[in-house]
Structure 1
Amino acid sequence: MLTATDKLNFVLVVDSLAGGGAEKVVIELARAIHEIGHNAILVSLTKSTTYDIPQDIPVYFVFEQPKKALHSPWLRQRHATEVLATLKEIENRFGKLQTIFSNLDYSHYILTACNLPNVYYVIHNAVQQTLQRARKMGPLKWLRQKRLFSVLEGKKLITVSDGLKKEMESLNLFKPAHVTRIYNPFNIDKIRQLARMENAEIPPEPYIIHIGRFAKQKRHDVLFTALKQLPKEIKLVCLGANQNGIQQLADKMEVGNQVIVTGFQQNPYPWIVHAKCLALSSDFEGLSMVLAEALICQTPVVSTNCPFGPNELLTGPLSEYLVPVGDPEALAIALEKALNHPITIKKDLLNHLGHLNIAQQYVNLS
């Protein structure tokens, strides 16, 4: 047990506490750092929340304005000043801040303007694919995204997969000072405990599950095209934000009767454990939280072999369930195989991703 003098203070900064994978990682990491005996303090740039706020973790909210205002180059220094004031308030309460871990683009953009020496920037998503997606949305979106990434020049980075680490080391857009790979943390025992909880909303008929916000990156269109090729009695449960967008696309693609849209779930694990398999159809990821969570629940998975992460989780016999990006026919074949001949998932497959082990790797950087 650490004494009060042994405890270190770690600050985790994130754009918001809304229902994305990176936000979930930040909350879990804060809990794990706290569990191994140090102080973990969450700083959310905005008050946007969907996840339950931890009762035993201090949380500070910095800004009242919408998230979109935080990319402004004209307000960047003012925003940095407000973040520095929040950090000073935390330091006055807890003492010296050992290390700050910044998460997501707006946090990176503002933290780099603070010129602090003890900051690591955690990369949760593929850079090149994010830029390519932004380019398709117009030149202004692309220039903005490029500006957000370019501030990482000469910074210390953490990536959540080996694939992301290799990308960071080979980019022309910026050259980091150093890159460390640390996988995302998973409280394996808690996930399995939560998976055993009853939920009357779970459908009795066989279903595939997909978890992810309604965004082009997630490729619901590819998933729905694959669904058309499966038996009509197989349902597809979609957990994620923007229920209307998911349902409208399903109706447009004439699979609305097979799709069950439930929206965001604080506890998705009973849904995962009762599913016949989990499908991931993304164009790109950073690691993919939901793949790991499904494997922890011993639920079969089918995934696109997208950059980055899935091929680091689906190894050995599981690699047969990796399919090309943007190929609904291959996805349908793999899903049918998973449904008819489910593979046994080893219970200890992802023990190396246990939350306390991962938290210690973060602490060891200090």
Structure 2
Amino acid sequence: MNKRIAVVVTNLAGSGGEKIALTQAKLFHKKSNKVVLFLLEDIKSYNTENLGFPVIPLTNKKNKFKLFGKLGYKLYAKILASKMKLFGDFDLVLSNLPRSDRTVKELKHNNKYFVIHTSYKAEIEAFSKKLANKKIKLYKYLYNNENLITISNEMKDDFISLDIKPKTIQTIYNPFDFIDIIKKGEEDIRYEFDYIISPSAFRKEKRYDILLDSFKLLKNTNIKLLILAEYNQELSQMIKNRKLEKRVIITGFKKNPYKYINNAKLLVLSSSREGLPTVVIESLILNTPVISTDCPTGPKEILTENLSKWLVPVGDSKKLALKIDEALNKKIEIKKELINKFNEDYIYKSLISLIKE
């Protein structure tokens, strides 16, 4: 029997968590369920045409009720509940990212799950004591006695260390449509030079300073670096400060990043923290080798067996550069059995089991 699923996310502005929420909705729809994707804000960088299911924004402005604090999220929840009623009773509500979680926390529904996309422990450790205490208080309010899904096994330990006591907690990896990713990876691109790629948005935790420092240290000076992020003045200045303007290209956000990843010599992730880095899995699906920091959490669960050799310590630009140079001179075998656990058909069985008969 087909089920009715509500997927809730802040917006579709372009981050990994937002992309995964869209992927969740697509997967439930593909499996003949009735799906509605709810956005707190009407912001869309990802293509939402011809999805076959509704994408319903709760407001048309960014951060419309954010300044109202908890009351603001009660307002979001009230709007969400009223829009959900238009579609009937939902069997499952999946919330993605903290602002959506604050909204869904206020929603009265007997089968709601919160999908945790990043390491809250690593996030909190980077804060001042005052801000860290504030965040811990927020996360305890949000997740105590709630149903949680972490996207990597290591993330489950975070909640124990932070003294957060969920009602249930389990790991379900993000789903990936291998066939679609490979098909989109086969599209032509206009670049005729060799390059390594970083398809991550420009954020502090992505540590572009480390990536650029390591790129400057490479022995291979013919290779270029493609950054699939929107133009950012700070990022541009970081490139200029290292005199890398001729070797580093900021391409802007791409709706189809797969063709760029597919044609890259390597994908490099320099983050200080992640959840389960989507781009690493997508790169392996496309048979493009990956060099990644061994950050909390996720990379070590993806780069296993022979691929674990390509993990480097967080914040070490010299070791990152050495590994990039080494990988550029090797043929790295990516065994399909190491990534099959991320196939959407396997993941769907876990997601649909969240609905109790």
TM-score by length of 2: 0.93
Paired residues for 1:233-252 under 5 Å: 233-252=222-241
1:343 to 329, 332, 339: 332
Match of 1:253 in 2: 242
Deviations 1:132-179 (A, max 9, x none): 34439xx5x65664454231111100011111122223322x211110
Q: Deviations over 1:174-230 (max 9, x none)?
A: 211110110001100111111101122xx2222110011111100000000101111
CA distance in 2 between partners of 1:10 and 1:157 (Å): 17
What is the distance in 2 between the residues matched to 1:67 and 1:257?
38
Q: Give the whole-Å Cα distance in 2 for the aligned partners of 1:347 and 1:76.
A: 43
The answer to whether the 8 Å contact 2:9/2:38 transfers is: yes
> What whole-Å deviation, never above 9, does each CA across 1:271-310 have from its counterpart, x for those lacking one?
1111110000000000100000010000111000000000
| 1:30 matched residue in structure 2 | 25
| SS at structure 2 position matched to 1:16 | coil
Give the aligned partner of residue 123 of structure 1.
116
Matched, 1:363 2:352: yes
Q: Report if aligned partners of 1:15, 1:103 keep a CA contact under 8 Å in 2.
A: yes
Distance 1:341 1:181 in 2: 34
Whether 1:67 and 2:63 are equivalent positions in the alignment is yes
Q: Which amino acid aligns with 2:92?
A: T
Kindly provide the CA deviation profile for residues 6-60 of structure 1, in whole angstroms up to 9, marking residues without a partner as x. 1110100001011011111111111111111211210011011100115212111
Change (3 A) 1:242 1:104: farther
Alignment map for 1:67-216 (pairs within 5 Å):
67=63, 69-70=65-66, 72-91=69-88, 96-135=89-128, 139=130, 142=132, 145-150=135-140, 151-172=142-163, 174-200=164-190, 203-216=191-204
| CA distances 1:299-332 after superposition (whole Å, capped 9, x unpaired) | 1110000000000110111101000001101101
Give the superposed CA RMSD: 1.8
Query: Conserved in 1, the CA contact under 8 Å of 2:40 and 2:76?
Result: no
Q: Which amino acid in 1 is paired with 2:15?
A: G
**CA 1:134–1:16: 2 relative to 1, 3 Å:** farther
Deviation at 1:335, TM superposition (A): 0.6
Q: For the residues of structure 1 that align with 2:246 and 2:66, how far apart are their CA atoms?
A: 40
Q: d(CA) in 2 for partners of 1:249 and 1:68?
A: 33
Mark the runs of 5 or more structure 1 residues left unpaired by the alignment.
1-5
CA shift at 1:113, angstroms?
1.5
Change in CA separation of 1:89 and 1:245 when aligned onto 2, cut-off 3 Å: farther
The residue matched to 1:245 in structure 2 has which SS? helix
Distance change >3 Å, CA 74–CA 309, structure 1 → 2: same
The whole-number CA distance in structure 1 between the counterparts of 2:138 and 2:228 is: 29
- 8 Å CA contact 1:208, 1:236 repeated in 2: yes
Contact 1:106 1:148 in 2 (8 A): no
Q: Is the 8 A contact 1:278 1:301 kept in 2?
A: yes
Question: Does the CA contact (< 8 Å) of 1:134 and 1:142 recur in 2?
Answer: yes
The Cα shift of 1:119 comes to 0.5
Partner SS, residue 118 of structure 2: coil
Offset from partner CA, 1:108-144 (integer Å, 9 cap, x none): 11111223221100000010122234439xx5x6566
Aligned residues: 351
State the secondary structure of the residue aligned to 2:187. Answer: coil
The reply to whether residue 334 of structure 1 matches residue 323 of structure 2 is: yes
SS of alignment partner, residue 5 of structure 2? strand
Counterpart Cα distance in 1 of 2:346 and 2:33? 14
CA distance in 2, matches of 1:135, 1:79: 30
Q: 1:228 aligns with which of 210, 216, 219?
A: 216
Provide the residue aligned with 2:36 in structure 1.
41
Identify the residue that residue 3 of structure 1 maps to in structure 2: none
Give 3-state SS (helix, strand or coil) of 1:192's partner: helix
Contact 2:96 2:114 in 1 (8 A): yes
Q: By how many angstroms is 1:65 displaced?
A: 3.0
Q: Distance in 2 between matches of 1:275 and 1:250?
A: 20
Structure 1 window deviating more from structure 2 (123-132 vs 295-304): it is 123-132
